[in-house]
Chains A and B, each alone.
Chain A
Amino acid sequence: MEWLRIFGARFGGLFRKRHLDGDLDAELRAHLEMLTEENILRGMSPAEARYATRREFGGVEQAKQLYREQHSIQLFDVLLEDVRFALRGFGKRPGFAVVAILTLALGIGSTTAVFSVVDRILFRSLPYPQDDRLVSFGDKAPFEANEFVLGPDYVDWRKAQTPFESVTSFVPGGADCDLTEHNPVRLKCALVESTFLPTFGMQPFLGRNFTSDEDRPNAARVALISYGLWRSRFASDRNLPGRAISLDGRPTVVVGVLPAEFEMPNLGHDDVLVPAALDGSTDRGPHARQVILRVFARLKPGITIKQAAAAMEPLFEQSLYYVPPQFRHEVSFRVRSLRDRQIQDARVASWVLLGAVLAVLLVACTNVANLLLARATSRARELAVRVAIGASRGRLVRQALTESLLLGALGGLAGCWFAQLLLRLFVSIAPQGIPRLEQATIDVRVLLFALGVSVLSGFFFGLASALRRPAPELLTGKENRATPRGLLRQLLVTVQIAVSLILLAGAGLLLRSLWKLKTVALGMDTKSVITAGIDLAEYRYPDSAKQLAFFNQLEARLKQMPGVSWLALSDTLPPAGGTQATFLSAIEIPGHTKFSTGTGGMISYRYVTPAYFSALGIPILQGLGFQEEQRSPAERPVILSEALAKRLFSNGEDPLGKSFRFGSQNNWRTIIGIAGDVKNNGLAAPADPEFYIPWKNESEGYFRSGHLIVQSAINPEAVAGWIRSETAAIDPTVPMTIEGMTTRVGKLAERPRFTAVLLSLFAGMGVLLAGIGIYGVVAFLVAEQTREIGIRIALGATPRSVLRMVFSNMVRWTVAGAALGILGAWLCSRFLESLLFEVRAHDPFLLGSALFVLLAVAFFAAWIPARRAMQVDPMIALRYE
C-alpha cells in the first residue's frame, strides 16, 4: 500500500503547493545562511563565502524544481500547466479557437449521430445472451425474401439435426387478434413454440413460459403478453399471471409477461405470444395443409454458420425428394446469422453513410490541422524562444499535443450537442423500416465513441504541427526570409479536395437515382385518389359471406356521395403486390404447353370491382374492363396485365377470348382484356406480371381486408371524413387507415430519399469545409507573401500577373486533388451500385458535374484572398513588419 500513501502525499501536494513552496524557501534560506556563516568562520570574506556556498550547494532553482516535481504528481501538474497555457492561447486568438471548435463539432457531431444509428444495425449486440450463436435457417426460394421451412421438414429436421443446441420456430404473418374485453383493442399475436424463449435465452419477467403440453393442438389456451401491453392495458398488475383474458372472444390464461427488452427476432411488434400448437404432422400428401414456418436456432458452442449449413445439407437434400422435381433446382438451403436476417439490405446504406461521415471528419480534421500549422508558423518566434531557454523537444511536442487534444475535446463536446440535433433530424425524416432507428440514442456507448473520435482526431491534426522542428536560429535577429511554402498544408488541401469530390460524386449518384425513382412511370394516376384500408375483425366477421355483406353495404352507401368520380373496391393496392398468388407453372391455357419447368415464380392477382381501372387511371390496352354484371358468380372473366399477357402469349397470338385457369381452381375463365402494367414490386423493379378477377364473385374467397379507392375532385379531408362517418354508420368498431394514393407511393421512395438526403448533407459539409480550407491556405500564403507581392508590384507587375502567381500555386494542388478524387470516386461508387436505380455507377456526366461544383467552390475560395493580393499597396507592403 506504500504507493497509495505516496500518491496520497503527492496528491495532497497538488493543493498545498503554495504552502510547501514557502516552507522550502525558508528551509533553503536557512541552509544557505548557515553554510555562509560556516565559511566566514573558516576565514573567508563574506563575498568569497557566498560564492563558496553556491558552489557547495549547487543550483538552488534546480533543487527547488526537483523538490516540486517530487511533491506532486508531475504529469498532472504539467498537464494542468499546459492546459492553462493552451486556454490562454485560445483566449488570445478567439477567432481561431471558435473556427477550429466549430469545424470539429461539425465533423465529430455528424460522425457521432450516424454512428448512433448504424451502431444498432452493424455493431451492437442483439438483446439476447450470446447473440452471435443465433441463426435463422431454411429453404431459400425465388419468390420469398426470407428463408422458410415447411412443417413436415421442420418436424424431421428438429429430430435429426446436429449443429444446433436448440431449434425453434414461429408461424409467420402473425395474425391480428382482438382483446375482446370491455373496450376491445386490436393486438398482434405471434404463434410460437414453447422452445421459443429458451432458444433465445430469454425468460418471462413475470410468471412462466408455456409448457410443451400447453403447446399442443386443442390444449387449453394460454398466452404470454408483452411488457408494453402489461403496462398499458393491465396497469402493471403483478398478479396478472394465472388470470384469464378474452382473446378473440375465447378465454385465454396469461401465464407470463415478457421482459421489457424482449424483441421478436423478425423485429415485429407483437403484443401477445400464443402457442403455435404444431400438430407434428409429417403428411406431405396432396391434401395436407403444410404449415410454413420461420425457423431460428442457437448454434452449439464452437460451431460456425458454415459448418452448420454443411451439417444440415444432407437433411435438406432428403427433403428435396418431396419437392416436385421441376422446382428442385430453384430451392436452396440457407443458414445466416440473426443479425443478417434482421438488417437485410440496410447494411450497404449503413456503411455508405458511416464512410461518408468519416470522410467529413477527415476533411474537418485536415482543416484544423491546417489552421494549427498556420498558427505554428506565426508562432515560430515564440517556439524559438522556448527552445532557447531550455524547453526540450519532448516538452514542446507535449504542449502542442495538449493544445490539439484540448481542441478535440472541446470540439467533441460541442459535437455531442450537434449530434443530438442531427439525430433528431434523422428520426424525423427517416422512413419506416430502418431497423432499430427508433432505439437510436446518444448513450454511454455512443459518447465513448465520440470521446474516442475526439481524442483520435485531436491527435491526428495535432501531430503535424507538433512535429514541426522549432528553429532557434530565428532568434539571431536575421529576417525570417526562408518561410517554407507549406508543402504539408497544400498536401492536406489536396486530400480535402479529393475526399470532398468523392462525397460529392456519391451524393450526385444517389440524388440522380432518387430523381429517376420519383419520375418513374407508375402505370397509374395517383392524383386526387384517396384510399382507405379496412380490416375486419375475425370474431365479428367470421366468414366470407358476412365480410362480403359489409363491403357491399359500404359500397352502396358511398355511391350516394356527390362529387365522387370513381369508387372502387379491391383486396390489395398497388404499389404493393397482390397477396394472393399462384405459380406461373400452375397457369393453364388450352393449347399451350406448361409455361415453366420450374415454379416460374409467383404471379399475384387482385380482386377488383369494375371501377378499379378507371379510379386508378390504369389503361385497358386491349379488350374491355370488367362490367357490373360480371360480378355475379356465373361470370368468370379475367384481365391480364400487359407483362403477363406477353409472358403467356409470347408468340404474338391474340389473348382475348382465350380460356385461362390457375392454381387448384377447376373453373375456366375467359380473358376479356389486357390492362397496362402497374408498379407492384417497388419503384425500382419492373412491374411483375399479375392478373385481375372481379371482386366478389368467388364464394371461396377470403375478404377480411379490403381497400376503398375513391377518385374525387373534392377536398381530400372532406372525403376522408365522409368515408369515416359512412363506415361508422355500418359498424363503428371497424378500424381503417385513410391515405392519399400519392402519399402511399411516396413512401416507396423514402428509403432512397433518406440515404440521398443524408449523403448530400454530408457532401455539402465536406465541400463547405474544403472551401474554408482552401480559403484559409490561400489567405495565409498571400499574407505571408505580402512583401514579395509588394516588391513585384513596385517593380511593375500587373494585378493580372499577381493573380496568376497566387492561382498557379492553388491550381497545382487543386488539380492534384481533383485527379485523386476522380480516381477515388471511380473506385468508391461501386459500393453504391446496389443503391442505384437506372443510374450507372460510373456516370461521366455526374462525375463531371461534381468536379465542376468542386472546382467552382475552390476557385471562389481562392478568389477572395487573391483579390486582396492584387490590391496590395507596395508602399504598405514594403513597410510591413
Chain B
Amino acid sequence: MAPPRAEVLQGTLDLIVLQTLHAMGPLHGYGIAQRVQQVSGDLLKLNQGTLYPALLRLEQRGWISSKWGASENNRKAKYYSLTRAGRKQLLAETESWERMTALMSRLLGGTEGA
C-alpha cells in the first residue's frame, strides 16, 4: 500500500512557496505547483487551486511580487518572484522550522529511548 499522502500543514504552504521561488527564481503559478509536486514526489497532496489565495497573501505581505509575462510556449502568465523582504522572511522561517523539527525529533526520540 502506498504511504498516506500528507495534507499540507497550515502555514507550511507559505514556506514551501517561498523556498521554491528562492531555489528556482521567478515562476508562474503552474510552475510552482509542478515544482512542489516534483520535489515532494507523491507524498504531498496539494490542491493546486489553494495556491492562488496563498500567493495573494504573500504578495499582500510584500514577500513576493508579481508581473505579467510570457511562458515558455508563449502563453500570457503571471510570474512571481521573491522580494528582499521575502528572502529575509524565508531565512527566519527556515530557522524557526529547523528549530522546531529538531525539538520535535528530540522529543519523539526521547520518548522512544525511555
Residues of A within 8 A of B (CB): 2, 5-6, 9-10, 23-24, 26-28, 30-31, 33-35, 37-38, 56-60, 62-63, 66-67, 69-71
Contacts and interface: CB of A to CB of B under 8 A. Distances in A.
7 contacts: A2-B61, A5-B62, A10-B60, A27-B28, A27-B29, A31-B28, A67-B52
A71 B28 CA distance: 19
B66 to A, nearest CB: 9
Contacts of A26: 76, 78
A26 B68 CA distance: 11
Given A6-B60, A23-B78, A27-B29, 6 more contacts: A33-B75, A35-B30, A66-B49, A66-B50, A66-B52, A70-B56
B65 to A, nearest CB: 12
Nearest to B59: A9
A63 B52 contact: yes
Contacts of A30: 28-30, 71, 75-78
Contacts of A2: 61
Nearest to B33: A31
Interface string B34-50: 10000000000001111
B4 interface: no
Contacts of B33: 31
B10 to A, nearest CB: 14
B88 interface: no
Interface of B: 28-30, 33-34, 47-50, 52-53, 56-57, 59-62, 71, 73, 75-78
B71 A62 contact: no
A58 B71 CA distance: 23
Contacts of A56: 48
A9 B60 contact: yes
A9 B76 CA distance: 24
A57 B61 contact: no
A789 B25 CA distance: 77
Contacts of B29: 27, 30-31
Contact of B49 (A9, A10, A33, A63): A63
A50 B56 CA distance: 26
Contacts of A34: 30, 71, 75, 77
A58 B60 contact: no
A23 B71 CA distance: 16
Contacts of B34: 38
Contacts of A5: 60-62
B56 A31 contact: no
A836 B47 CA distance: 78
Nearest to B32: A31
Contacts of A10: 60
A69 B29 CA distance: 19
Given A27-B77, A30-B75, A67 B56 contact: yes
Nearest to A60: B49
A397 B56 CA distance: 30
A31 B60 contact: no
Contacts of A63: 49-50, 52-53
A318 to B, nearest CB: 77
- The 6 closest A-B CB pairs, nearest first, are A63-B49, A58-B47, A58-B49, A66-B53, A9-B60, A34-B30
A690 B77 CA distance: 104
Contacts of B60: 5-6, 9-10, 70-71
B93 to A, nearest CB: 14
A513 to B, nearest CB: 69
A38 B60 CA distance: 30
A264 B75 CA distance: 83
Nearest to A30: B77
Contacts of B28: 27, 30-31
A60 B76 CA distance: 19
A23 B53 CA distance: 13
A62 B49 contact: yes
A397 B33 CA distance: 39
Contacts of A59: 49
A31 B48 contact: yes
B49 A71 contact: no
Nearest to A31: B30
Given A6-B60, A30-B30, A56-B48, A67 B78 contact: no
Contacts of B71: 30, 34
A6 B62 CA distance: 9
Contacts of B59: 9
A37 B78 CA distance: 18
A468 B75 CA distance: 52
Contact of A58 (B50, B56, B61): B50
Contacts of B73: 37
A617 B95 CA distance: 105
A47 B60 CA distance: 37
A66 B30 CA distance: 18
A2 B78 CA distance: 25
A67 B77 CA distance: 17
Contacts of A62: 49
Contacts of B50: 58, 63, 66
A71 B75 CA distance: 25
A28 B52 contact: yes
Given A5-B61, A31-B30, A67 B76 contact: no
Nearest to A27: B78
A57 B49 contact: yes
Nearest to B34: A38
B43 to A, nearest CB: 15
B57 A58 contact: no
A349 B70 CA distance: 80
Contact of B52 (A9, A27, A37): A27
A763 to B, nearest CB: 58
B51 to A, nearest CB: 8
B53 A58 contact: no
A63 B51 CA distance: 8
A245 B86 CA distance: 78
Q: Which of B30, B33, B57 is most buried by chain A, counting CB atoms within 10 A of its CB?
A: B30
Q: Which of A34, A38, A63, A70 is most buried by chain B, counting CB atoms within 10 A of its CB?
A: A34
Nearest to B31: A34
Contacts of A67: 52-53, 56
B44 to A, nearest CB: 12
A6 B61 contact: yes
A487 B33 CA distance: 57
A5 B77 CA distance: 26
Contacts of B52: 24, 27-28, 63, 66-67
Q: Which of A23, A37, A70 is most buried by chain B, counting CB atoms within 10 A of its CB?
A: A70
A35 to B, nearest CB: 6
A5 B60 CA distance: 7
A470 to B, nearest CB: 29
B48 A58 contact: yes
A66 B33 CA distance: 17
Contacts of A71: 56, 60
